[in-house]
Amino acid sequence: MQSLLAPFRERLGLSAFAAGDYVKAEKYFRKLEEKDPNSLSVLRNLGLILMAKGDAEGAEAYLLREEKLYGRSFHRHAALADIAYARGRRKEAEKRYRLALAEPEVGAGGSATALRPLMEKRLGICSDEKSFATSRESMMIFQEAQELKTRGEAEKAVEAFLRSAALDESNWPALNNAGILYLESLGKPDEALKLFERAFDVSRNIHAARNIEVVKRRLGKKGGR
């Protein structure tokens, strides 16, 4: 029965992750982990889900285990670079971004070519101590914004997210989070759309893309980007 349920649970988990429901996504992949803890899908997706939830330490443990079992790859370098960046490990992040950018997936016609500009931006920040220090300030303000959001202080949280994004042009989650607050808490879908589009332009992230479609539907607009 478990072998029959596994693909179904994986699809549900991936759908929840794409929709930004990280709690539900984690629940499905934890069920899969109980039966096959060394599955590539389990390790990869739990790592990405925990990263999205803000648990960089937990995410790193899963992704390093994936790398140990399955070897180095573009996706592992890229994910571990983002984790090192989030945790303030400049040299390690720089090394991982360089390794990721050397992989064929981000070359001309590669499956992840769209991600190259963001990684190059991050590499440039990591290569300069002053720029990296500014990105740490951005991270601190981002955490303050998250706390304001949790307390229900939406307007102050938006202002803090935008200050965070201004300090680090690669910080697309700050733009995305501010957009969500504009949409869900402040009733300003037009402002939300602008921020989601900026977040997508920086990241080419599926969550930002989905948010664009959500707000367009609410505004009664049709068509993609």
The residue-averaged pLDDT of 3-24 equals 85
Please give the average per-residue pLDDT across 78-98, as a whole number.
96
What backbone phi and psi angles, to 5 degrees, belong to 19?
A: -85, 0
Contacts for 76 with CB less than 8 Å, ≥ 6 apart: 63, 66, 67, 70
46 — pLDDT class (breaks 50, 70, 90): very high
Q: How many CA atoms lie within 13 A of 181 on its CB side?
A: 23
Tell whether domain 129-225 is in CATH 1.25.40.10.
yes
User: pLDDT at residue 222 above 60?
Assistant: no
Close Cβ partners of 120 (under 8 Å, ≥ 6 residues apart): 101
Q: What pLDDT is attached to residue 167?
A: 97
Q: In the structure encoding, which two tokens stand for residue 45, read together?
A: 């997706």
* CB 9 within 8 Å of CB 32: yes
For the chain, the structural domain boundaries read 129-225
Short-list 2, 24, 3, 1, CA closest to 14: 24
Which token pair is 67?
């790398």
Regarding predicted confidence, which is higher, 56 or 29?
29
The per-residue pLDDT for 21 is 86
> Do 188 and 159 contact (CB within 8 A), yes or no?
no
Mean pLDDT of 40-59: 91
Question: pLDDT by residue (tens digit) across 160-190?
Answer: 999 999 999 999 999 999 999 999 999 999 9
Over residues 143-157, the pLDDT tens digits come to 999 999 999 999 999
For 53, the enclosing helix (H) or strand (E) is none
Give the CA radius of gyration of the chain.
Answer: 18
Total Cβ atoms within 10 A of residue 150: 9
**pLDDT recorded at residue 79:** 94
Taking residue 204's Cβ as centre, other Cβ atoms within 10 Å add up to 17
